[in-house]
């Protein structure tokens, strides 16, 4: 359940003093323009030069090596099964950023696909990287930087440090094709909020209209603002740059309590309010101690020495006072009351769940 660690309660800005207005943020920090995003690339490749830590006789590693050999006009006999201990089949991944142009470099991650024990010291042979549409957008090749280490001994013992079957190649891929974002010819520019909010999206549209004139921007839904702009990459790029630097006061975050059941972390934001409620929380502990004593018979009684169990049972009920939340209790009141009774993370979660079920806490309770 919960680990015995301290309760971490995150106090948001001005939470102890009450609700404070949200701080103005740049529009670029609230979301992104539609189409201007990264694209995931994946590829299949072969890593060679390993010190006997490769895939051995894995079938698709052999097929990959045959494909590599065929590029150079070499043919491997069909009835020969090479022991590829110095080669490994890998999956190559990378993120292609928006506006990436041919010739630019990308950092790539190389991960073992089969039985390879380590990729340390290996070299990735030229591997094409494809997008979701099946088109090749980059070519990858280079020497791996592996932070992990794995060593096996003859007696079966092994030592592993970090992850030796995955590595990175900084600048290991070269962009071969650019992705057409399409923003230069669309009827309107669309700006999408990272988190949908009706109030915030209206304020973003209002800020753009104040700067560039009424009717320029309109909120389509809780996450999208449509912006009218002349067609053309150059003029729209300049317009989007100006829009990104505009300041907006985002709406206050919804009342929310986050509980991480694995670490015992509880985060309560400043929007949480408690209706009038009384809480009493205590523990009942039952301890059973099993002791043994030796029973010695009286002299000349012809009895036998025996070991007799002796059980002791104690009941400890921890009594804690009931505390009351006044109407509109804030985060400061919650923290003060919980600290007063010395609640553990498990106790705090139990109290919050009970308040939620009783209808006294108007907040989303999220358990991770």
pLDDT confidence of residue 157? 61
User: What would the mean pLDDT of 328-336 be, rounded to a whole number?
Assistant: 64
Measured distance between the N- and C-terminal CA atoms of the chain, rounded to whole angstroms: 12
pLDDT confidence of residue 304? 74
pLDDT confidence of residue 19? 40
pLDDT confidence of residue 269? 78
Question: Which residues, at least 6 apart from 234, have a Cβ–Cβ distance to it below 8 Å?
Answer: none
- HEC assignment per residue over 219-276: ECCCCEEEECCCCCHHHHHHHHHHHHCCEECCCCCCCEEEEECCCCEEEECCCCCECC
- Two structure tokens written together for 209: 């209209």
Return the higher-pLDDT residue of 128 and 326: 128
Return the higher-pLDDT residue of 349 and 21: 349
pLDDT tens per residue, range 52-76? 888 876 666 667 676 766 676 667 6
pLDDT confidence of residue 2? 39
d(CA 265, CA 281): 20
d(CA 18, CA 165): 51
d(CA 177, CA 99): 10
Helix (H) or strand (E) holding 334: helix 331-340
User: What would the mean pLDDT of 129-158 be, rounded to a whole number?
Assistant: 81
pLDDT tens per residue, range 19-63? 444 578 899 999 999 888 889 999 998 898 888 888 876 666 667
pLDDT value at 77 more than 80: no
User: What would the mean pLDDT of 310-338 be, rounded to a whole number?
Assistant: 61
pLDDT value at 321 more than 60: no
Q: How confident is the model at residue 147 (pLDDT cuts 50, 70, 90)?
A: confident
User: What would the mean pLDDT of 158-187 be, rounded to a whole number?
Assistant: 84
The answer to whether the beta carbons of residues 325 and 333 sit under 8 Å apart is yes
Instruction: Read off the pTM.
Output: 0.64
pLDDT tens per residue, range 243-293? 999 999 988 878 888 877 677 777 777 777 777 777 666 654 455 565 667
pLDDT confidence of residue 12? 35
pLDDT value at 179 more than 60: yes
Q: What angle do CA 70, 72, 76 make, to 5 degrees?
A: 40
pLDDT confidence of residue 365? 80
Nearest to residue 87, comparing CAs of 43, 42, 119?
Answer: 119
Q: What helix, strand, coil percent values describe the chain, rounded to 5?
A: 20, 35, 45
Q: How confident is the model at residue 18 (pLDDT cuts 50, 70, 90)?
A: very low
Instruction: Tell me which of 158-167, 173-182, 185-194 is least confident.
Output: 158-167
pLDDT value at 131 more than 80: yes
Percent of the chain at pLDDT exceeding 70? 66
Mean pLDDT of the chain, nearest integer: 77
Number of continuous H segments (helices) and E segments (strands) in the chain: 5, 21
Instruction: Tell me which of 67-81, 90-104, 128-142, 284-298 is least confident.
Output: 284-298
Q: Give the residue extent of every domain in the chain.
A: 1-21+253-368, 40-175, 182-248
177 CB neighbour count, 10 Å cutoff:
14
pLDDT value at 162 more than 80: no
Percent of the chain at pLDDT exceeding 90? 27
Nearest to residue 46, comparing CAs of 31, 65, 26?
Answer: 65
């Amino acid at each position: 359940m919960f680990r015995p660690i301290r309760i971490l309660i995150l106090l948001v800005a001005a939470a102890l003093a009450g609700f404070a207005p949200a701080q103005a943020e740049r529009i670029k920090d609230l979301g992104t323009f539609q189409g201007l995003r990264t694209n995931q690339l994946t590829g299949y490749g072969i890593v060679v030069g390993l010190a006997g830590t490769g895939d051995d006789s894995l079938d698709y590693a052999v097929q990959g090596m045959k494909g590599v050999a065929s590029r150079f006009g070499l043919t491997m006999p069909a009835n020969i099964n090479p022991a590829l201990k110095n080669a490994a089949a890998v999956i190559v991944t990378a993120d292609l950023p928006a506006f990436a142009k041919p010739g630019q470099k990308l950092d790539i991650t190389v991960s073992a696909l089969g039985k390879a024990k380590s990729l340390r010291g290996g070299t990735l042979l030229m591997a094409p990287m494809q997008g979701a549409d099946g088109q090749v957008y980059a070519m990858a090749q280079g020497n791996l930087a592996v932070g992990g280490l794995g060593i096996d001994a003859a007696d079966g013992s092994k030592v592993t440090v970090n992850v030796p079957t995955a590595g990175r190649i900084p600048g290991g891929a070269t962009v071969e094709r650019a992705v057409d974002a399409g923003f230069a010819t669309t009827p309107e520019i669309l700006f999408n909020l990272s988190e949908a909010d009706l109030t915030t999206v209206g304020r973003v549209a209002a800020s753009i209209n104040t700067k560039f004139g009424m009717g320029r921007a309109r909120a389509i839904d809780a996450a999208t603002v449509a912006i009218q702009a002349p067609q053309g990459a150059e003029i729209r790029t300049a317009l989007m740059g100006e829009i990104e630097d505009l300041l907006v006061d985002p709406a206050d975050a919804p009342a929310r309590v986050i509980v991480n059941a694995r670490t015992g972390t509880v985060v309560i934001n400043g929007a949480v309010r408690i209706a009038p409620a009384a809480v009493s929380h205590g523990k009942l502990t039952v301890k059973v101690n099993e002791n043994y004593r030796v029973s010695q018979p009286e002299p000349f009684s012809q009895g036998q020495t025996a070991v007799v169990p002796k059980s002791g049972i104690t009941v400890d009920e921890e009594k804690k006072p009931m505390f009351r939340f006044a109407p509109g209790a804030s985060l400061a009141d919650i923290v003060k009351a919980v600290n007063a009774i010395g609640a553990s993370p498990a106790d705090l979660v139990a109290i919050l769940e009970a308040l939620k079920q009783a209808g006294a806490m108007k907040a989303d309770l999220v358990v991770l």
